[in-house]
Structure 1
Amino acid sequence: MTSAQYTSSQQTTSQQTQSQQQAARLLQHFSQFNRQRLTLNNGICVLNGADGREAAVIEVPAQSDSLLLHCHLISLKGEDKSAVYRLMLLLNFEMAAMRGCWLALDEYDNLRLCSQYPLDKLDESGFSALLNGYIRQVEDTRIFIEQTLAQVNAA
């Protein structure tokens, strides 16, 4: 696990699907190692890093058997959209660098790092390794994109 402390502002709901219950069990196991209570609320758990920024959003949609991980990297408001979109598409093609993740733009012009995994392939140790790896990928990708955009804007 990274050195950041993770917090969750979510509470458990009583109407969870079977997939959401499985994800809740995996989160409970992960919680034991970072000493924070992590729970799903309507199929979503938001982890924040020590810096207050999103470290990961864990989502299990009601009609899904997959775990979706996504995280806010940067806001693209005010950026040269064509240069950023080109960078995003080029990065999505860099499979070794992206490690199974992809970049997406949400409805608020925020760049998000996304990944998806079948829940039936995850046990407690696999989930912990997956989540820790994803959080490291978020950190690496966020730094790379911030530095690259700073260079593009300086040119």
Structure 2
Amino acid sequence: MTHYQRQVERWLQHLAKRYGTSLSLKNGICALCDEEGGEAAVIEMPAQSDSLLLHCQMPVLPEEISEVYARFCLQLNFEMNAMRGCWLALDDYQTLRLCTQYTVNSLDEQTFTALVEGFIQQAKEAGDFLRDALARFNAA
């Protein structure tokens, strides 16, 4: 485990105590679940990096995603008030994910906790917004 991973591990232990659960990095990754067992956030601290990545799956996209909806998702990345430092991206499995990244040196225990909690809230809001938008695109 690298220095940065050990630091994130300590912060995860603090977060785990706060929520009465068990959290730890496994191969640099820690997945947090919501009340229904769904993905709330994935925290990644790659061994070769000083940057912490948080990401979360957004609503499942239809296999034949329309160009209009894809363009809409990309345009959201420039909506600074709506995205609050996050961006949308497709992962290796063509899953739409909300992402954000911070250098470990810019965080401490309190800012890490605030970052994770804020990201989870942002992911909920973005997911709701995208579900509504997808319904509008499908209705059109």
Scaled by the length of structure 2, the TM-score of the pair is 0.96
2:69–2:137 Cα contact (<8 Å) kept = no
Percent identity among equivalent residues? 52
Tell me which residue corresponds to 2:38.
53
Aligned residue type for 2:121 = R
Task: State the 1:77 CA deviation.
Answer: 3.6
Q: Write the distance in 2 (CA, Å) between the matches of 1:129 and 1:80.
A: 34
Structure 2 regions of 5+ residues with no counterpart? none
**Counterpart check, 1:27 vs 2:16:** no
Q: Write the distance in 2 (CA, Å) between the matches of 1:35 and 1:79.
A: 41
RMSD (CA atoms):
1.0
**Counterpart check, 1:126 vs 2:114:** no
**Counterpart check, 1:43 vs 2:5:** no
Tell me which residue corresponds to 2:49.
64
Aligned residue type for 1:149 = L
**Counterpart check, 1:149 vs 2:127:** no
2:61–2:96 Cα contact (<8 Å) kept = yes
Tell me which residue corresponds to 1:3.
none
Q: Write the distance in 2 (CA, Å) between the matches of 1:88 and 1:30.
A: 31
Task: State the 1:88 CA deviation.
Answer: 1.1
Matched position secondary structure for 1:113: strand
1:102–1:113 Cα contact (<8 Å) kept = yes
Q: Deviations over 1:79-108 (max 9, x none)?
A: 433122111111001011100000001122
Scaled by the length of structure 1, the TM-score of the pair is 0.87
1:75–1:109 Cα contact (<8 Å) kept = no
Structure 1 regions of 5+ residues with no counterpart? 1-15
Matched position secondary structure for 2:67: helix
Matched position secondary structure for 1:75: coil
**Counterpart check, 1:93 vs 2:83:** no
State the number of aligned residues.
140
Aligned residue type for 1:103 = L
Aligned residue type for 1:76 = L
Task: State the 1:51 CA deviation.
Answer: 1.8
Q: Which residue of 86, 89, 105 maps to 1:104?
A: 89
